[in-house]
Structure 1
Amino acid sequence: MKESESPSNPWATVTLGDLSEVKSGVGFPKKYQGQSSGDYPVYKVGDVSRAVTLGQGLLNSANHYVTTEEAGELKGVIFRTGSTLFAKIGEAVKLNRRAFVMRPGLADNNVMAVVPLLNESDRYLHYFLRTVDLSDISRSTTVPSVRKGEIEDLIIPLPPLAEQKVIADKLDTLLAQVENTKARLERIPQILKRFRQSVLAAAVSGRLTEEWREDSTYNDEGYPDSWTFKHLSEVGKLARGKSKHRPRNDPRLFGEEYPFIQTGEVANATGEITSATRFYSAFGLEQSRLFPAGTLCITIAANIADTAILGIDACFPDSVVGFTPKDSEALAYFVKFLIDVNKQDLESFAPATAQKNINLKVLNELRLPFPSLEEQTEIVRRVDQLFAHADRIEHQVNDALARVNNLTQSILAKAFRGELTEQWRKDNPELISGENGAEALLERIRSERAAQKPTRRRTKIAKTEQAAK
């Protein structure tokens, strides 16, 4: 233990093991599992994860409970309120999730706990642990794992107790604000999704261009009187993709010449497909078909009625249909809007089989409302404009989310450099010196540790119950 080098910051530098007990959970045989209530929760890695993702990091419930008698039989430590739990083995280590115990309980042997020696340091140590990247200290083996000694050896700055409380209080407030901001930002993409759906619904019902059309009369089906219903086969041509050769993974089919688009690429496209991840060779093209740029792709298997416009010439398999509109009848983008809005209805035509699919007949017989070509052009222009506005907002939101996600670690770093409490120290010198200083705190911690019995596993439930109080 040593004093901090900065005279304006009378902190000490110690190890986490100097301030806490680091303990692992206990084996949890199946015969004890499955109880949804009891005297003590038994915290597992999943409970820690749920606490972090759904409960603001506060751990007060679990999927498994045991009675006092069973806890004694398990011979596990009952971790008191204020302990910090985290995964010690497996891929969960990389998630860096730490939960603050609100209800005393046991933990299984995939979980490790840090139990501060002084209750007053609970929140301070918890926030410190949130600065630690467990991946950096885990053993580089096939299965990531964290050892007790690696946690105990972590270097931690130690301010006086009064300042620890101020730091923890400030972090409570600041990080809650960060989480609230993050939650609001994360809701915006769903709002934008509903906005885009509303725009499309207005577009294909005539509401979006009502003022432009200078006609607000609608028929009994809710469409403008000037619009007419037509089958897809009347306004263009549908053709199924081809991939005749078997096996379909024959290496001879693939090369670097002809883009080969599959259903997943249609589903994940944001309107237009401008690139491909796989390409057919000349041999592959012979057993397929090359569709021109501007073709509307419609998926008819697995993902039903996902759509995208080809921005490049490309081939695709028979799980995708290509629609080419007649120049005098329809625009590919307007037909795309119609299919997108009616996606749920089209999915209902798919039989309840392991892999849903619809056929060309279903698409050809679709009866859809069409305005004049001039109005279709205006509709596409307006939708593009509104979608571009939504895209700009979404891009700004994603940038803001990235900054907010970095903000937590930035605030924590400032806290443990003493920057959040710099003015507080100037205003309260009596609370950080003498008997209130870091050296006096270290002496108290030494005394507390010396007063404890030698490290002997406490197996009696009476002792673990007392530790939990």
Structure 2
Amino acid sequence: MGRGKSKHRPRNDASLYGGDYPFIQTGEVKEASSVIYITSYSQTYNEKGLAQSKLWEPKTLLITIAANIAETAILTFPACFPDSIIGFVADSGQVSPEFIKYSIEQLKLKMQNVSKGTTQDNLSQEKLRIFDFLVPDQVTVQAFIKATKPIFRQTQNLLQKNYNLNKTRDLLLPKLISGEIDVESLEIESEGKAIVVEEVSEVREAIAV
């Protein structure tokens, strides 16, 4: 377990961004908390950004300790994140990151209360360590992992498919609206085709106005 790293000041220095390394913010952890996994990102570090940060491995559990307190989500790709997030790498032979995530969910309200400050709420590593996590015997833990693994795998797959569909939509929609792609030539069912043509026409008319 350790805090994310973002040593450079100011943190929003444009020279750090625009590369190949995903950079996750606390807001994105909160957004993904309800669906368990982080499957997308909005910012990336370049080599300079990576040099002053740290690249965490997939399956790392992210725990927010500032701004949004005790929000959790699991990485599905290597990524960097700032020191307002703690990364927890579970020993796969002992426990799963999903089990720890749900354990934290049970303690979330207490963690938020402990983090209360006069100016800004903050949950430090030291404060996080005061909480006792109830971990059952290995037979029970392994039974949990075996029973839930297919469910979590399917959840992750569906989230990834949804992300890919959204990217495809964002790529195709401007081309449909501009007329670069002619929907009249698409080989789809007549009823569905009529709907697509009508919707694209409505969008074009709205833009023209």
Tell me if the contact between 1:331 and 1:373 (Cα under 8 Å) persists in the aligned partners. no
State the match for 1:239 in structure 2. Answer: 2
Alignment counterpart, residue 376 of structure 1, candidates 133, 141, 147: 141
Task: Provide the rounded CA distance (Å) in 1 between the counterparts of 2:148 and 2:117.
Answer: 34
Task: Provide the rounded CA distance (Å) in 1 between the counterparts of 2:112 and 2:147.
Answer: 28
Residue identity over aligned pairs, in percent, reads 42
Residues 1:268 and 2:31 aligned together: yes
Note the alpha carbon deviations across 1:395-437, whole angstroms, 9 max, x for none: xxxxxxxxxxxxxxxxxxxxxxxxxxxxxxxxxxxxxxxxxxx
Note the 1:4-83 alignment, pairs <5 A.
Answer: none
Residues 1:257 and 2:20 aligned together: yes
Unaligned residue ranges in structure 2 (runs of 5+): 159-209
State the match for 1:366 in structure 2. Answer: 131
Note the 1:65-464 alignment, pairs <5 A.
Answer: 238-269=1-32, 270-380=35-145, 382=147
- How far 1:333 moved relative to its partner? 1.2
- How far 1:265 moved relative to its partner? 0.7
Look up the equivalent residue of 2:3 and give its one-letter code: R
Task: Provide the rounded CA distance (Å) in 2 between the counterparts of 1:377 and 1:310.
Answer: 21
Note the alpha carbon deviations across 1:123-151, whole angstroms, 9 max, x for none: xxxxxxxxxxxxxxxxxxxxxxxxxxxxx
- How far 1:382 moved relative to its partner? 4.6
Task: Provide the rounded CA distance (Å) in 1 between the counterparts of 2:137 and 2:93.
Answer: 9
Note the alpha carbon deviations across 1:140-167, whole angstroms, 9 max, x for none: xxxxxxxxxxxxxxxxxxxxxxxxxxxx
Look up the equivalent residue of 1:323 and give its one-letter code: F
Note the alpha carbon deviations across 1:44-68, whole angstroms, 9 max, x for none: xxxxxxxxxxxxxxxxxxxxxxxxx
Note the alpha carbon deviations across 1:307-351, whole angstroms, 9 max, x for none: 011100000000100001223432211111100111001111113
Tell me if the contact between 2:95 and 2:142 (Cα under 8 Å) persists in the aligned partners. no
- How far 1:367 moved relative to its partner? 1.3
CA RMSD of aligned residues (A): 2.3
- How far 1:365 moved relative to its partner? 3.0
Note the alpha carbon deviations across 1:178-231, whole angstroms, 9 max, x for none: xxxxxxxxxxxxxxxxxxxxxxxxxxxxxxxxxxxxxxxxxxxxxxxxxxxxxx
Larger radius of gyration: 1
Task: Provide the rounded CA distance (Å) in 2 between the counterparts of 1:306 and 1:380.
Answer: 22
Number of matched pairs: 153
Note the alpha carbon deviations across 1:270-324, whole angstroms, 9 max, x for none: 1111221100000000111111001110000111110011100000000100001
CA gap of 1:369–1:257, structure 2 versus 1, over 3 A, is same
Look up the equivalent residue of 2:12 and give its one-letter code: N
Task: Provide the rounded CA distance (Å) in 2 between the counterparts of 1:324 and 1:337.
Answer: 15
- With the length of structure 2 as denominator, give the TM-score of the two structures: 0.67
- How far 1:379 moved relative to its partner? 2.4
- How far 1:352 moved relative to its partner? 3.0
